Structures are given as C-alpha cells and as structure tokens.
Structure 1
Amino acid sequence: MSENTKPELKRSLSGLHLWGIAVGLVISGEYFGWSFGWAAAGTLGFLVTTVLIAAMYTTFIFSFTELTTAIPHAGGPFAYSYRAFGPMGGFVAGFATLIEFVFAPPAIALAIGAYLNVQFPGLDPKLAAVGAYVVFMGLNIAGVTIAATFELFITVLAIIELVIFMGVVEPGFSWANFAAKGWSGEESFTIGSFSGIFAAIPFAIWFFLAIEGAAMAAEETKNPTKTVPKAYIAGILTLVVLAFGTMIFAGGVGDWNALSNINDPLPQAMKAVVGESSGWLHMLVWIGLFGLIASFHGIIMGYSRQIFALSRAGFLPPTFAKVNPKTKTPVAAILAGGVVGIAAIFSDSLIEIGGASLTANIVTMSVFGAIVMYIMSMAALFKLRASEPALDRPFKAPFFPVFPAIALGMAVVALVTMIYFNQLVFGLFVVLFAVAFLFYRFTAGLRENAEADDLLELAQVEARSMAD
C-alpha cells in the first residue's frame, strides 16, 4: 500500500458471515460469566434481571441497526457519535467501545483456561489464556474472510453444543432446584432480592455483550444496508433463546450455589447429572471451548477494527491504521489490543479488587464501557433524527421514539446502579478515561493530518457550517 493510498478494508462478508459474527461475539456469555449474577441475586432475582436486560438489548438492537445501515463504518458507535456530536462525542463513544472490546477478551481467555484445566488439571489457566491470544490474533491477521468463515463454523458448533447440553441435563432438571435458597437464604423470591437484581446487572449484560460489534464489520460486508438488519435481528433472537435456556437448565440440576462463582458452570452442571466419567461431560468441555473461542476470536476482530478506525481518524497514533497490503487486515491494531488483554490477565493485584474475582472485575470493566457506548449510540440516534432528517436510513428503528427511549433509559439505570455497586472498578474506569482524554486533548494535530474519511469530512463541514 502506498503512502498516499487511503487505508481500506475489503468488502467480502455475506449476511450469514455477519450473523455468525453477531452471535459468535456474544455466545461465550452463555458458557460463563452470567453465573456470577446468582451470587448477587440468586436464581430467581437474576432471572428478573435477565428479563429486563433482554428487553434493553432487544430494543437497543432494533434501534442500533438504523445507525449501522445508515453509517456503515468500521468505527461503529464512534462513527455514529462523531456524526451526531462531533469529535468530543466520537472520543467518548470510541473510547468506551474500546474499553468494552479490549477488556472482554481477557475474561473469555481466562474461561478458556478454566475449561482446559478441567481436562488437564496441571495446566496453568493463565498460560492457556495467553496461548489463546497468540493463536487467534494470528488467525485474525491471516485475513477477514478466513477469520469470519472460521467464526461462522465454530458459532454453529457452539449453538449445537448448547442445545445438546440442555437436552442432556433435562432429566435432572427441576423447578424446585432452580428456586431453592434464593436471596437471603429464603426458599422463594423475597423483597431482599431487589438490591441483588440491580447488583447483578453486569452479569446479565454479559449474556448479550458485544453483539453490537458486528457493526464494526459493516465496512467489510457486501450490501450492508440489507444484510445488517437481517443479521442483527436473527442474532438477537438466537441469543435470547440460548441465554434463558442455558441459565434455567443449569440452575435446575442441583445446588446452583456451587455454580455461582466459577468460570465453568456448564461442565459442573452437567457433572451433577451424568457424573465425572461420562463421555457427555468430556464432549461439553471440548466442544464448549468452541463457544468461548467464537466470542474470543470475534471480539479480537471487533477491537482491532475499533482501534483501526480511531487511529485512521487521528484519535490514536497513526501506526494502528496501517493495513497489511496482502491480507488487508490491521495487524498493528490486532497486536495492540492483545498486549493490553494479556497484561490484564496478569494484573491480579490491580484488577482483583473489591472482594470480587479477577474475572468478575474484568467483566464489570468491559460492561462499563458497553453501557456508556449504548447511551452515546441512542443519544446519537435521537440527535441525527433531528439534525439530519434526510439521511438515507435503509432500516428505521421500529416504534420510534419508544424503542430507543426504552434502550436509553434502561442503559442509564444500568450505569447508575453499576456505579453504586462497583465503585472501585468504576474509579479505575474513570482513570483510564482521564488518561485517554489527556491524549485526545494534546494530539489535535493527529486529527488534522488524518487520512481522508468521508464520514468525518461530512461532519466537519456541517460543524463549520453551523459555526458560520
């Protein structure tokens, strides 16, 4: 690629690829993470939390799809907020998305290590997590079509495996087990559960976290105005069914308290039904890795595109906007996110705070980024409806303004309650934001000298026009 050539990504993904990315980004949330919510709210309280969060995500995706089809840009939420609110809005949404996508992979990598540790007790889960980074950063570097095809393949396997899990444990399921010893040790739902419902929000969000990342592949998708809506709607419906099915069946096979603070709840739930020596259990561990790998691999793709887009626009150093001339992948961006993720895996003393586990705190940090991004995206939707009524919108949010208002309101409630219950993690989140803002504040020259970008140029022209 010559110095004067605008860095571009290759359009090669089909609608099926995009569905695979949308579901694959999230599907690890069915394998681990959510069970930490049981420790906060019990099974019944967390079921209420999940219903509320599922409603938030469903209304959010139907609204977010309007932005994705109108502005098919690798920056995703960064691009929408830039278009609506200018550079500062772009910075807030872009960095929040970066926090979400950079901190989600180390949590998933630790779960991969935990699953492997079930089969190989002598294997250090952290070293296995680092190995996962090395392998799947390499696969992402190899090319987007190869990466997306692999993502689709392992996502389908992961879905099949979750269905098998539900079928195998069904004989051991009972509602009495699921409802036993709820919040405060009671046998059924009590008033004390309400605080737990709010405390469990990050772990219900983990069921659906990162589905919006498929927007970052829109710039690499064939005919995104038609394929994106289909992929997103099919994706959210798939995930809602799997989330409720997995959680309910796992919680009803025995003592759910034993599953509430571990990284591998599904193998342990199946063990309670079929025993330690069953072939079904070994199948779950091995095929279950595909679910974790699907999300891990897909989110690496997502964070690399976000770093690429921010760098191309001058919000990060320009070296991260370079695209390999052969594979057309942002190699430096892929490696940069991996370095941060691996550092997080070994940052026990920094991230294992507030009495929670390392994985739980990494999950919470990622969710803080996601919620801020959701708020910015829905605000951008309302702003663009008012400021650019003539913008081509191949897909319009249904029941506007009700759906985006529900998503925005619930995201604000989620953010406030998460701050209340996770003050130390939020403090670290604010520190990271402050450091990023200092970089943004003193690097205006990077944005002035950034590669031409039609989206940003249009926003800049409109900003100057309003100023005049």
Structure 2
Amino acid sequence: MQKDTAAPGLKRTLGKFHLWGIAVGLVISGEYFGWSYGWAQAGTLGFMVTAVLIATMYTAFIFSFTELTTSIPHAGGPFAYAYRAFGPVGGYIAGFATLIEFVFAPPAIAMAIGAYLNVQFPAIDPKLIAVSAYIVFMALNIVGVSIAATFELCVTILAIVELLVFMGVVSPGFSITNFVANGWAGSNEFSVSAVSGIFAAIPFAIWFFLAIEGAAMAAEEAKDPKKTIPIAFISGILTLVVLAIGVMIFAGGAGDWSKLANINDPLPQAMKMIVGDSSGWLHMLVWLGLFGLIASFHGIIMGYSRQIFALARAGFLPKPLAAINSRFQTPHWAILAGGVVGIAAIFSDNLIVIGGLPLTANIVTMSVFGAIVMYIISMAALFKLRRTEPNLERPFFAPLYPFAPALALVLAVLCLVAMIYYNTLLSLIFAGLFVAGFIYFKATHSTDEMQDGNELLQAQG
C-alpha cells in the first residue's frame, strides 16, 4: 500500500506570549466558577488541603509534560505521545480521555457565561446565552488561529486584571474568621467526614487547573515550539497557582462562604457581601468577569478542535473531521462537531440528574475524569519513551526525573480512585463511553491505517 504522510497541516503563527495566553486562558475560568462546589464537599479548610494537593500534582505534571510536548510537537498532544509510546491502543486511550475532557468542559463554561449575564439581564434565558456563545466563538475559531490566539491573549490579560481587582475590592471586608468558620466539611472540628470531604472535592480542585495542557495542541501552530512551549507552560502554571489560592481565600473571607458553595457565579455573590447589590464594582465584576469565562471557553474550543482534527487525521475518527478550511486554514468541521455535543449537553439538564448535583457540577466531573486518565497515560508515556527512545531529541528534560513525573503519576492515580469512589454512576457512564468508542475504534481502524498513523507520528515527532 502506498503510504501518504502528506496529511493536512496547520500554519505556524503563534509566539510565546500567544502560547502563554492560551495556556492560562484555557484554565482561567476555573478561578471564576466551578471550584466553589468543592466547598460544599469539604468546607473552606478541607478544600484548601485538596487545592494544595492538586496544585502540587499539576506543577509536577506540567514540568514533566513539557518534555513530551517539546519532543513531539503534534496537534494531537497527549494522543501523539501515548501513540508513540504504546501504539494505537495507547493512542486511543489518551485521545478518548482528552476528547472527553475538552468536549465536556465548554458547556459548563457556557452555562456559567449565561449565569453571569443573567445577573444583569434576569429576563434572558441563560441557555440561550450559552448557545449564542458557542455560535460566536466557533465562528471566531474558524476565521483563523492567529486572530483567535490574539483575542485569547487580550481577554486572558483582562481576566487576570479582573481577578486582582476582585481581591482588592473585597479585601477591606476580608475576615479570616469568616474563612475558617465551619471550614472542615461544615464543622469546626477535623474529623473522618472532613477527610472524606477532602477526597470528594478533588474534581473541583482540578477545575482550578483543568486544560492547561491544551496548549500542547497548539504545538503545530507555534513558532519554535521547542523554546516557546516550556516558557508558556511553566509561567502559566505559576500564574494559575497564585490566582487560584488568592481568589479562594478572599472569596471565603468575604462573608458566609456556604452561600457560595453551590452556585455558578461565586465571585459576584462574594462581592455583594462587601459592596452591596447596586455597587458599580459589582457591575464591573460581572462584565469584566465574563472575560475570564470567555478566555477559557474560546481557548478550549481551540483545544477540542485540534484534538478532533488530530484523531481524525490518524484515522481514529471519521476522516472528514480532519478537513482544513481552504480559506482560513483551520479545522472547521472539528470545531463544529465539538459544538454540537456541547450544545446538546446544555439542553440535557432536565433529562439527566445524577447524584442530586447541579448539571454544571456533573459536567465538570465528567471532564475531570477524562483529564485524570489522560494525565496518567501521559506520565506513563514519559517513562516508556525515556526507556525505549533514549536518543529522541529532548529540548526540555523533566526536572527531578524520575521523582517529579512519578509524583504526578501517583497523585493522578489517587485522584482517579477517589473520583470513582465518590462518583460511581458518572464513572460508569465514562467507562461506557470509553467502551463504545473502543468498539468503534477496533471496527474501523485497520492494520494499514495503524501503520500509516504510526509513520505520520514518527515523521511529525
């Protein structure tokens, strides 16, 4: 069979600031909403323990993941690394997990955008706002990656400024007494239930940092990715750790934190406790706070489209999804396909009720399941490639190897076990989707296609 490795390609237009904007922007909505569901599980003090544990995992993971990204700069990101290390089945596991992570995160963010705007316009259905956000930002991503990445950088900077403004505005009313009150899962005493809450809150601490690895999917569009990606990843994770801890402490100290634990807009509600309902600061937070949500929403659309594109190009998804728009040089069908799934999820809240939790919490948890599985196989791929391909060009070496990647791997496994225990039904749904996808993979992926995909990854890596 004639092997054709002249697969569709993407233009290299992104610099280090664009990549930093993508890395931080993918995640920064996690500072605006989603994490406060962890307070409902663990309380403020318990969730602080969870957040520090997860921040440690992510820091070790990103420093290790950067080695893979710079060694194999491929739009498939984790899919490409696992394929290279473990073959087609490994590629499928990583690709499916990443797809779940990036396709399920946007509808949660879109609904938060609807909730934020609903504060200003109560008469407008938040779902309609969420769908409108999909339409606008899918169109922006189709128009071109350079325009999309520049927009991402701008809104990310505005989102960071707004988080700093939030901390400054609430700081005069901050009280450590408010923060620690009933801080151990609703109690002032550390107990077995507090330990249980710490583990149950893991998905919501992960939401603080979820999707930073998505910057790897822009590797084929980055200028000099072997130099720019390490700068983007390392500065990005440090930026996010500082912001996450700051936002959580200041919001928790603003008043009765239990009122913020099960809502999609904890920051505006925390600010209300300090400045009241009619303050100009509150209106500013609602409007500018949208930039944080938009940055992540827009960035994750970019991420899921590149993942769908890469999987389709390698034959794991239908080939038409790998098509490149002739005018804009972007994967338009991949962008639209992820949007269809996301919009369907937005309208499923009256059809699917799991564990008595809000739909947003369940979507967040499903996305985190995909992320954790991907983190595990990525770290396994790092160890495997160090052993089987010692001569692979590695512009960046994971510091403290093997300790740092081993720490990331162990903590990720611990997170997965805890999530399965506390989210049994969702884990079964995740497993069911995984099995259905694997059946499709085995039924449609021929031996020749597997060989072609392997040669493509070798050539592009």
Task: State the TM-score, normalizing by the size of structure 2.
Answer: 0.97
Q: How is 1:238-387 mapped onto 2 (pairs within 5 angstroms)?
A: 238-387=239-388
Tell me which residue corresponds to 1:155: 156
Residues 127-161 of structure 1, C-alpha deviations (whole Å, 9 max, x = no match): 11000000000000000000000000000000000
Tell me which residue corresponds to 1:220: 221
Tell me which residue corresponds to 1:417: 418
Alpha-carbon separation, structure 2, partners of 1:411 and 1:186: 28
Q: CA deviation at 1:234?
A: 0.3
In the alignment, structure 1 residue 97 sits paired with structure 2 residue 102: no
Q: How many aligned residue pairs are there?
A: 458
Tell me which residue corresponds to 2:183: 182
Alpha-carbon separation, structure 2, partners of 1:369 and 1:351: 19
Conservation of the 8 A alpha-carbon contact between 1:6 and 1:451: no
Conservation of the 8 A alpha-carbon contact between 2:25 and 2:296: yes
Q: CA deviation at 1:64?
A: 0.1
Q: CA deviation at 1:408?
A: 0.1
Conservation of the 8 A alpha-carbon contact between 2:39 and 2:201: yes
DSSP-derived class of the 1:442 partner? helix
Question: Structure 2: 5+ residue runs without aligned partners?
Answer: none
Alpha-carbon separation, structure 1, partners of 2:5 and 2:389: 32
Residues 14-44 of structure 1, C-alpha deviations (whole Å, 9 max, x = no match): 0000000000000000000000000000000
Alpha-carbon separation, structure 1, partners of 2:441 and 2:5: 25
Equivalent position amino acid for 1:239 in 2:
L
Q: CA deviation at 1:6?
A: 2.7
DSSP-derived class of the 2:56 partner? helix
Residues 343-383 of structure 1, C-alpha deviations (whole Å, 9 max, x = no match): 11111245431111100000000000000000000000000
Tell me which residue corresponds to 1:118: 119
Residues 216-273 of structure 1, C-alpha deviations (whole Å, 9 max, x = no match): 0011000000000011000000000000000100000100000000000000000100
Conservation of the 8 A alpha-carbon contact between 2:84 and 2:458: no
Q: CA deviation at 1:11?
A: 0.3
Alpha-carbon separation, structure 2, partners of 1:187 and 1:232: 38
Q: CA deviation at 1:434?
A: 1.3
Conservation of the 8 A alpha-carbon contact between 1:166 and 1:246: yes
Q: How is 1:35-74 mapped onto 2 (pairs within 5 angstroms)?
A: 35-74=36-75
Residues 45-97 of structure 1, C-alpha deviations (whole Å, 9 max, x = no match): 00000000000000000000000000000000000000000000000000000
Tell me: CA distance 1:315–1:42, structure 2 relative to 1, closer, same or farther (3 Å): same
Alpha-carbon separation, structure 2, partners of 1:439 and 1:372: 19
Q: CA deviation at 1:276?
A: 0.6
- Larger CA deviation: 443-452 vs 184-193: 443-452
Alpha-carbon separation, structure 1, partners of 2:139 and 2:77: 24
Tell me which residue corresponds to 1:30: 31
Q: CA deviation at 1:192?
A: 2.6
Residues 179-220 of structure 1, C-alpha deviations (whole Å, 9 max, x = no match): 002335423544431000000000000000000000000110
Equivalent position amino acid for 1:380 in 2:
A
Tell me: CA distance 1:292–1:229, structure 2 relative to 1, closer, same or farther (3 Å): same
Tell me which residue corresponds to 1:464: none
Q: CA deviation at 1:449?
A: 8.6
Conservation of the 8 A alpha-carbon contact between 2:312 and 2:320: yes
Question: Structure 1: 5+ residue runs without aligned partners?
Answer: 461-468
Conservation of the 8 A alpha-carbon contact between 2:83 and 2:454: no
DSSP-derived class of the 1:395 partner? coil
Tell me: CA distance 1:67–1:122, structure 2 relative to 1, closer, same or farther (3 Å): same
Alpha-carbon separation, structure 1, partners of 2:428 and 2:459: 36
Alpha-carbon separation, structure 2, partners of 1:154 and 1:444: 40
Equivalent position amino acid for 2:313 in 1:
R
- Larger CA deviation: 427-436 vs 184-193: 184-193
Alpha-carbon separation, structure 2, partners of 1:177 and 1:225: 46
Conservation of the 8 A alpha-carbon contact between 1:351 and 1:361: no
Conservation of the 8 A alpha-carbon contact between 2:322 and 2:334: yes
- Larger CA deviation: 339-348 vs 180-189: 180-189
Q: How is 1:4-23 mapped onto 2 (pairs within 5 angstroms)?
A: 6-23=7-24
Alpha-carbon separation, structure 2, partners of 1:265 and 1:13: 34
Q: CA deviation at 1:111?
A: 0.2
DSSP-derived class of the 1:170 partner? helix
Tell me: CA distance 1:342–1:451, structure 2 relative to 1, closer, same or farther (3 Å): farther
Tell me: CA distance 1:44–1:321, structure 2 relative to 1, closer, same or farther (3 Å): same
DSSP-derived class of the 1:192 partner? helix
Conservation of the 8 A alpha-carbon contact between 2:39 and 2:185: no
Alpha-carbon separation, structure 2, partners of 1:5 and 1:137: 27
Conservation of the 8 A alpha-carbon contact between 1:312 and 1:451: no
Alpha-carbon separation, structure 1, partners of 2:210 and 2:58: 9
Residues 383-438 of structure 1, C-alpha deviations (whole Å, 9 max, x = no match): 00000001000000000000000000000000000000001111111111111111
Alpha-carbon separation, structure 2, partners of 1:285 and 1:185: 29
Residues 299-328 of structure 1, C-alpha deviations (whole Å, 9 max, x = no match): 000000000000000000000000011211
Task: State the TM-score, normalizing by the size of structure 1.
Answer: 0.95
Tell me: CA distance 1:13–1:453, structure 2 relative to 1, closer, same or farther (3 Å): farther
Q: CA deviation at 1:459?
A: 11
Conservation of the 8 A alpha-carbon contact between 2:60 and 2:405: yes
Alpha-carbon separation, structure 2, partners of 1:212 and 1:350: 32
Alpha-carbon separation, structure 2, partners of 1:449 and 1:203: 37
DSSP-derived class of the 1:277 partner? coil
Alpha-carbon separation, structure 2, partners of 1:341 and 1:451: 31
Alpha-carbon separation, structure 2, partners of 1:62 and 1:255: 37
Tell me which residue corresponds to 1:75: 76
